[in-house]
Structure 1
Amino acid sequence: MQTDIRLGTFDLDASPPMGHPLCGGWITPVVGQDDPLRLRGIVLLGADDPIVIASLDWTGVLNESHRLWTERLAEAAGTSPDRVALHCVHQHNAPFVDLVGNRLLRESGADPLLFDERFVEGLMARSATAVAEAVRSADRVDLLGVGSAEVDRVACNRRVIGPDGKIKFTRTSATRDPEARAEPVGTIDPTLRSISFFRAGLPVARLYYYTTHPMSYYGDGRVSADFVGLARARRDADEAGTLHLYFTGCAGNVTAGKFNDGSPENRVVLTDRVYEAMAAADASAEDHPLDLLSWTTLPIRFDPREDLDLDRLLAVVKDPDAPTVDRNRSAMTCSWLMRLQAGRPILLGKLDTNASSVIHLPAETFVEYQLFAKSLSGEFPLAVAAYGDGGPWYIPLERSYGEGGYEPSVSWVSTMSEPMYKSKLEELILRS
């Protein structure tokens, strides 16, 4: 039994400057800001070396960028990089960073690049300073609250399959086609999970986990944490002095498209629905003495999608006549393939307490993997944070590639990855 578990918090503005590329450079760059992007996290002490868990309101942090950032935070916390979980929420009016991809574009004379390296380096430095301060100011927490609530009319499965077994509709974050919106919700996880750490009866940090693409609309160059960030901000206003963090689950094939036509006023509607679930999850939470804390990691090595060719993709990166989206996306794909050639795995993580577990997964994992993981956990509460290392982009099911649609076309992992990924999830969850 552990009796000296301490927690420190950090919270930074992660908003990009005017003119900065958004979502990898293929949508309108920053022209203004509706609300700030945040980098928030906690440092947990008392379970061997410190554990750092962070949530960033960006589209993605990939490959070498993710490695370098976790190393910086680990050094600041006095821990090892495998004990740092850095996740993106995945808003699209936000930065999308991949250091090797950026280098390939710069060497090819491309414009725009994926991101401004000086800006990102500055935020990395500030975040390391904030983590070091969180360690110094960490204080004992003694109670854990674990709650959940269903989110009403937000998430739907984006892949509507027709009678021929092929994609009939893809419901993007904003879907205007009434026929597509009329289709059933499909496979989702409707539950929002909250995990709260208390000190002397007061909440110090609340962590929320819900599974959907977090955009109501985007592409206009106006920075926003969108409806999940706005719901989180309302919880900030409810509980001054409590840090509220939000994590996106396995939302690779989940959006709000059934319930969202992309109109600005609908952002408010979606915000209300997520906020109400956050408040309900906290209100219904069961409290448990916090006397156990542990962290487990497991390496996973994906094979590349079978038809990807590094030389062909590099040629696209170097082609000045290729569309920006093709050059920039190809640069990210090249970065992933180079990483696989170097043999560096992705790390899956698991945070265990006496009252709940959280698993930490990469990229745009499909929701069926989350449901599989929760089935392994049984009645024991399990929360899921995806969008960690974003290198693989989408991680679909094996059948998804035959069904067609957008997601398999921008998945960089082998079409045969599903059994291996599920095996690793089982090993992670059942490991004591």
Structure 2
Amino acid sequence: MQPDLRLGTFDVDASPPMGHPLCGGWIKPVVGQDDPQRFRGVVLLGSDAPIVLASLDWTGVLNESHRIWTERLAEAAGTSPDRVALHCVHQHNAPFIDLVGNRLLRDAGADPLLFDERFVDDLMVRSAAAVAEAVRSASPVDLLGIGSADVEQVACNRRVIGPDGRIKYTRTSATRDPAARAEPDGTIDPTLQSISFFRNGAPVARLYYYTTHPMSYYGDGRVSADFVGLARSRRDADEAGTLHVYFTGAAGNVTAGKYNDGSPENRPVLADRVYRAMTAADASAEDHPFDHLSWATLPIHFDAREDLDLDRLRAIVADPDASVVDRNRNAMTCSWLMRLESKRPILLGRLDTNAGSILHLPAETFVEYQLYARSLAGNVPLAVAAYGDGGPWYIPLERSYREGGYEPSVSWVSTMSEPMYKSKIEELLRRS
């Protein structure tokens, strides 16, 4: 038993300013805001160094940007960077940041860049201050609530495979083709999981984990936390004084496309379905004394996708006649390849309590890795947060590259990564 397990919360407005690039600069920049984007999370304190779990309503934080942000949060919390789990929810009307990629674009005279470094640096400062305050104000928590509920008619697998073993349809977040929408859900994880921390019988923070791309529509320049953020806000209204934090699971190949045609009217419909699962998961939760907390990490070294050539990609970034998508996306790819040359790994993380665990994964991991992890966990509740360090972009299955489609074309890891990735997940979960 660990005495004096304490928890602090933080909540910062992370909404980008007018004119800021969205989704890496290749969609319309900010022209207004429908609802704010948040940087939220908890600091857990026990007998070991503090643990920071943070969720950001942005598309992605990659490579050096992820490293710098986690280091600043760690310093603020009085802990080490390996004990900071920084994840994005992955909305698309949101910033997508990679410091090295931004510098490559700036050096090439590109416009737009990926992001405004002054704005992001200011947010890093504000988020660190909020984490420091969370540590100072942390109070004992004595009870855990672990619950789950299925989300109805939101998620589907975006990759519909035809009889020839190749992609037949790709169901993007908004899918209008009735034939594509008529296909079965496919491989998903329909379960939303809830982990709640209580103090004297009152909920202090609730963490939610669900697996789908969180966009109903985007590209109009309107900042929003989209339907998962709207569901989270409704829980805020239900329980004033309780922090509600949302994490996206391994949703690299999961969207709402079967149940979403992209009409603005459907955003609140999807939000209501997620909200109902949140409330059901909380209502069904089993309570457990909170008397154990531990954290473990495992480094993982991915290899680059075999056909990627750094010099060729840098030439595209430097080409003023190339499209914004090609220049900006390849700037991020160059950043990843340069990061691999430095041999700096990605860290997988595992938080354990006496009642369940949380697995922390990078990038746009495919849902099959999450289901694999769940199978290893057996009857022990296991929540999964992906979209940590976004450097690799997509992490598909080995067969995905043969099947074709969008995701393998923007995966920066080796086509042979699946066995290694699964073995690392298993190694981390098997650690005592």
SS of residue paired to 1:295: strand
SS of residue paired to 1:264: coil
- 1:175-224 per-residue CA deviation (whole Å, 9 max, x = no partner) reads 00000000000000000000000000000000000000000000000000
**Alpha-carbon distance in 1 for matches of 2:429, 2:224:** 34
Letter in 2 for 1:69: W
Mapping of 1:217-228 within 5 angstroms? 217-228=217-228
Residue 421, structure 1, aligned to residue 421, structure 2: yes
* Aligned counterpart, 2:98: 98
SS of residue paired to 1:274: helix
* Aligned counterpart, 2:284: 284
Residue 153, structure 1, aligned to residue 150, structure 2: no
Gaps of 5+ in 1: none
Mapping of 1:236-247 within 5 angstroms? 236-247=236-247
**Alpha-carbon distance in 2 for matches of 1:70, 1:395:** 22
**Alpha-carbon distance in 1 for matches of 2:175, 2:265:** 15
* Aligned counterpart, 1:48: 48
Gaps of 5+ in 2: none
- 1:219-274 per-residue CA deviation (whole Å, 9 max, x = no partner) reads 00000000000000000000000000000000000000000000001001100000
**Alpha-carbon distance in 1 for matches of 2:286, 2:198:** 12
* Aligned counterpart, 1:320: 320
* Aligned counterpart, 1:140: 140
* Aligned counterpart, 1:21: 21
**Alpha-carbon distance in 1 for matches of 2:129, 2:267:** 34
* Aligned counterpart, 1:250: 250
Deviation of 1:124 (Å)? 0.1
- 1:70-97 per-residue CA deviation (whole Å, 9 max, x = no partner) reads 0000000000000000000000000000
% identical equivalent positions: 85
* Aligned counterpart, 2:375: 375
Deviation of 1:3 (Å)? 2.0
Mapping of 1:123-272 within 5 angstroms? 123-272=123-272
* Aligned counterpart, 1:57: 57
- Indicate if the aligned counterparts of 1:227 and 1:267 stay in contact, CA closer than 8 A: yes
**Alpha-carbon distance in 1 for matches of 2:276, 2:290:** 26
Q: What's the TM-score, normalizing by structure 1?
A: 1.00
* Aligned counterpart, 1:68: 68
**Alpha-carbon distance in 2 for matches of 1:294, 1:320:** 50
* Aligned counterpart, 1:351: 351
Deviation of 1:430 (Å)? 1.0
- Indicate if the aligned counterparts of 2:3 and 2:47 stay in contact, CA closer than 8 A: no
- Indicate if the aligned counterparts of 2:142 and 2:198 stay in contact, CA closer than 8 A: yes
Deviation of 1:427 (Å)? 0.4
Q: What's the TM-score, normalizing by structure 2?
A: 1.00
**Alpha-carbon distance in 2 for matches of 1:349, 1:4:** 23
Letter in 2 for 1:209: Y
- Indicate if the aligned counterparts of 2:209 and 2:246 stay in contact, CA closer than 8 A: yes
- Indicate if the aligned counterparts of 1:47 and 1:294 stay in contact, CA closer than 8 A: no
**Alpha-carbon distance in 1 for matches of 2:100, 2:252:** 23
Letter in 2 for 1:356: G
Deviation of 1:47 (Å)? 3.9
Letter in 2 for 1:213: H
- 1:291-340 per-residue CA deviation (whole Å, 9 max, x = no partner) reads 00000000000000000000000000000000000000000000000000
SS of residue paired to 2:383: strand
SS of residue paired to 2:184: coil
**Residues 89 and 47 (structure 1 numbering): CA distance in 2 closer, same or farther, change over 3 Å?**
farther
Letter in 1 for 2:104: L
SS of residue paired to 2:186: coil
Q: For the aligned residues, what is the CA RMSD?
A: 0.3
- Indicate if the aligned counterparts of 2:61 and 2:98 stay in contact, CA closer than 8 A: yes
- Indicate if the aligned counterparts of 1:90 and 1:214 stay in contact, CA closer than 8 A: yes
**Alpha-carbon distance in 1 for matches of 2:429, 2:256:** 29
